[in-house]
A and B are shown apart, each in its own frame.
Chain A
Amino acid sequence: MSCKDYEISCEPYQEMIALDAGGDLPATEVERLKRHLDSCAACRRFAGEMRDTQRSVALLADAPVDSEVLAAIRAGVLREVERDRRRPIPVRLPPRALALAAALIVALGALILLRANESGTTEQQPAEQPRVARTLPAAASQPVPPQPAAPPLIPEAVPAAPISETAGEEPAPRPPVTVSPETRLAERRPSVVPATSPAVTAAAAPPPGTPAAEPMIIKLVSEEADLVIYWLVQSPDEPIKETTNDEISAV
Chain B
Amino acid sequence: MASEAAIVVFNVPAEVSSATAREGFSSVKARGSDDDVAPKAREREDFERLMKAHEQRVFRAAWRLLGRREDAQDAAQEVFLRLYRYRHRFDERRPLEPWLYRITVNVCRDLRRRRRVRQTASLEELEETRPLVSADPDPGAAARIAEERRIVEQALATLAEKERAALVLRDVQGLSTAEVAEILGSSQVTVRSQISRARLKIKKYRDRKLGGSPR
Q: Are B60 and A22 in contact (CB under 8 A)?
A: no
- Does chain B have a CB within 8 A of A76? yes
One of B25-33, B97-105, B109-117, B198-206 contacting the partner:
B198-206
A69 touches B (CB below 8 Å): yes
- Which residues of B are found within 8 Å of A18, using beta-carbon distances? 195-197, 199-200, 203
Q: Is the pair A56, B172 in contact by a Cβ cutoff of 8 Å?
A: no
A73 touches B152 (CB 8 A): no
Q: Are A61 and B207 in contact (CB under 8 A)?
A: no
Q: Check: B106 CB closer than 8 A to any chain A CB.
A: no
- Which single member of A15, A53, A70 contacts B196 (CB below 8 Å)? A15
Q: Which of B44, B56, B206 contacts A65 (CB 8 A)?
A: B56
B6 to chain A, nearest CB (A): 15
Render A41-60 as a binary contact track against B, CB cut-off 8 A, 1 for contact. 00001100110111011111
The reply to whether B206 and A61 contact each other, CB–CB distance below 8 Å, is no
A54 to B174, CA, bound (A): 12
What is the total number of residues of chain B having a CB less than 8 Å from a CB of chain A? 48
Contact between chains at B55 and A19 (CB < 8 Å)? no
Contacts of B149 in A (CB 8 A): 56, 59-60, 63
| A73 in complex: contacting residue of B73, B84, B132, B167, CB < 8 Å | B73
Interfacial residues, chain A to chain B (CB-CB below 8 A): 6, 14-15, 18-19, 21-22, 24, 45-46, 49-50, 52-54, 56-61, 63-65, 69-70, 72-74, 76-78, 80-81, 84-85
| Given A19-B192, A50-B199, 17 more pairs with CB closer than 8 A | A15-B196, A15-B197, A15-B200, A18-B197, A19-B195, A24-B177, A49-B207, A53-B206, A56-B202, A61-B172, A61-B174, A63-B63, A69-B73, A73-B51, A77-B80, A77-B84, A81-B81
6 pairs from A and B in contact (CB 8 Å cutoff):
A56-B151, A57-B171, A61-B172, A74-B48, A77-B80, A78-B44
Nearest 7 A-B pairs (CB), nearest first? Answer: A18-B199, A53-B203, A77-B80, A56-B148, A18-B196, A76-B77, A57-B171
Give B residues with C-beta under 8 Å from A.
Answer: 40, 44, 47-48, 51-52, 55-56, 59-60, 63-64, 69, 73, 76-77, 80-81, 84-85, 132, 134, 145, 148-149, 151-153, 167, 170-174, 177, 192, 195-197, 199-200, 202-203, 206-207, 212-213, 215
